Amino acid sequence: MHKPVYIVNDHILSVMGTSTDSNWNSVLKEESGIALIDPLFPSDQAIYGSQLKAYPVVNKKATKLENMFLYSIQETLRQTSIKSSNDRLMLFVSTTKGNIDGLGNKKQQPSDRVELHAMTHFIQQELGLVHTPMIVSNACISGVLAIQTAALYIKHGLIDHAIVAGGDLFSKFTLSGFYAFKALSAGICKPFDKSRDGINLGEAIGTVLLTSDPAAAKALYAVEVKGYGSSNDANHISGPSRDGSGLALAVRKAVRHIRTEDIGFINAHGTATLYNDNMESLAFQQLGLGNVPLNSLKAYYGHTLGAAGVLEVIISIRSLLNNTIVKSLGYEEAGTEGTVNVARTFIKKEIHTVLKTASGFGGCNSALILRKA
C-alpha cells in the first residue's frame, strides 16, 4: 500500500535571513542577497555572490557548514511533534562539496571532515538521529533529487518521516572552478534575460520535513509531492543538451499523474548562463508549457548548489500557500530560443500546483510536482 507524501515544514538559512519568514519577506521586497565579494583569488573580473558573514553556532566543534546544517534542521523539527530520536525518521543530505574549504587547510585535520560521510555522521550524532542518513551528491540537481528519493522512501513504507537538508559553502574551490569555466556573471545574474552573462554562486541551507501523516506531525501546512523524475542528457558532462530533450524527459515523468493545465507556475533552474536558460526554454516549449508563468530565484540567492533545489522548493511552497508567484528578478527582455512566460512582476492568483526543475553538470536533470493538499 503506497502512502501519500507531504512536505509539512521547512527552514532557510541564507544571507537573506535565519528563518523562512525572513527569507520570504526579503524576496517579497525584491531584495537580492548577492553583492560584490572578495574573490578569494587573483581575478580579472569583479566577483558577485552571496556569502554568510555570520552564522548561528550550535556547536563549537562543528565547521561552518555543519553549524548551518544543525541550526536549520533543529529549527525545522522544533515547530513539529517529530523528535530527532524517532526511529522512523531519516535524514537525507544534499550537498555537492560539503566541508570543501577544509581541503585547503595547510594541515588537514580529521575534524575538517572533508569527506561527505564524515560530515553527515557528525550531524547525525549531534542531532541524535537513529536511522543511518543518506547522502545524495548529484551536482546541481542534488536537492530536488534528494526530495524525490526521500519521498519514494516514505511512499514505499521504508520510513515514515524524512528531513531533507541541502547545503554548500561559498568556497574558493567552487568559485575558481566556475571562474575557469568563464561562467561567472559580471554583476547580479539575469536569468532568462537577453543580456544574461553567467551565474553567481551563493551559500545557504534549505531544509524540508516530509511525512506521510501531517496530522501526527502537527504540521503547519501540507504540500503533497505529486510527481518526480530524473534523467540524463547523455550528451556532454558540462554543457546542457542544446534542445532541452533531456530535461523534458524528467518533466514528463513528474507530470505523469497530473494534468499539465493544473501547473500554476514553473520554478526553473535558471542559472543565467546562455546555454542553461536557452535549453530550459526549449524544454518547456516542447512540453506545451510555454505560457505557464515561470521564475528563477537565482538573482535573489545565487546558485547555492546542494541547497538550491531545497531552498527553491521552499520559496515555491510559500508561493503556493500565499497564492503569489514570485517575480523573476533580473529579467527584462526575452532572450531565449524557446518562448517562455517569465514572471516580470509578482503575480497574485489562485495557484495549487508548481513544477520545480533542476539541471546540472554530468548532464543530469530532475523535476518535481508539488500540490497544496
Instruction: Tell me: does residue 372 bind another protein (CB under 8 A).
Output: no
Torsion sign, CA atoms 273, 369, 150, 221: positive
Instruction: Please select the residue that binds another protein; options are 218, 236, 344, 349, rule is CB under 8 A.
Output: 236
Alpha-carbon span 16 to 58, nearest angstrom: 19
Contact, 240 vs 233, CB < 8 A?
yes
Alpha-carbon span 296 to 298, nearest angstrom: 6
Instruction: Please select the residue that binds another protein; options are 301, 363, 367, 370, rule is CB under 8 A.
Output: 363
- For another protein, give the closer residue by CB, 71 or 228: 228
Binding mask 152-171 for another protein (x = CB under 8 A): xx-xx-x-------------
Instruction: Tell me: does residue 239 bind another protein (CB under 8 A).
Output: yes
**Which stretch, 53-61, 231-239, 296-304, 325-333, contacts another protein (CB under 8 A)?**
231-239
Alpha-carbon span 161 to 217, nearest angstrom: 9
H or E, element range at 126: helix 116-127
Instruction: Please select the residue that binds another protein; options are 85, 232, 291, 345, rule is CB under 8 A.
Output: 232
- For another protein, give the closer residue by CB, 4 or 17: 4
- For another protein, give the closer residue by CB, 235 or 345: 235
- For another protein, give the closer residue by CB, 30 or 115: 115
DSSP 325: E
Q: C-alpha grid cell for residue 115?
A: 569527506
Alpha-carbon span 231 to 289, nearest angstrom: 19
Contact, 291 vs 264, CB < 8 A?
no
Neighbours of 316 (CB within 10 A): 25
Binding mask 85-114 for another protein (x = CB under 8 A): -----------xxx-x--xx---------x
Which of 340, 371, 342 shows the shortest CA–CA distance to 354?
371
Instruction: Tell me: does residue 54 bind another protein (CB under 8 A).
Output: no
Q: Binders of another protein among 191-210, rule CB under 8 A?
A: none
Question: H helices then E strands: how many in the chain?
Answer: 9, 16
Distance of CA 274 to the CA centre of its chain: 20
Q: Could you tell me how many residues make up the chain?
A: 373
- For another protein, give the closer residue by CB, 4 or 239: 239
Instruction: Tell me: does residue 237 bind another protein (CB under 8 A).
Output: yes
From the CB of 138, what's the least distance to another protein, in Å? Answer: 5
Q: Binders of another protein among 249-308, rule CB under 8 A?
A: 249, 253
- For another protein, give the closer residue by CB, 155 or 372: 155
- For another protein, give the closer residue by CB, 303 or 327: 303
Alpha-carbon span 206 to 143, nearest angstrom: 9
Q: C-alpha grid cell for residue 77?
A: 523539527
Contact, 166 vs 205, CB < 8 A?
yes
Instruction: Tell me: does residue 44 bind another protein (CB under 8 A).
Output: yes
- Contact positions toward another protein, by CB under 8 A? 41-42, 44, 96-98, 100, 103-104, 114-118, 120-121, 134-139, 141, 145, 149, 152-153, 155-156, 158, 172-173, 176-177, 179-182, 229-239, 246, 249, 253, 361-364
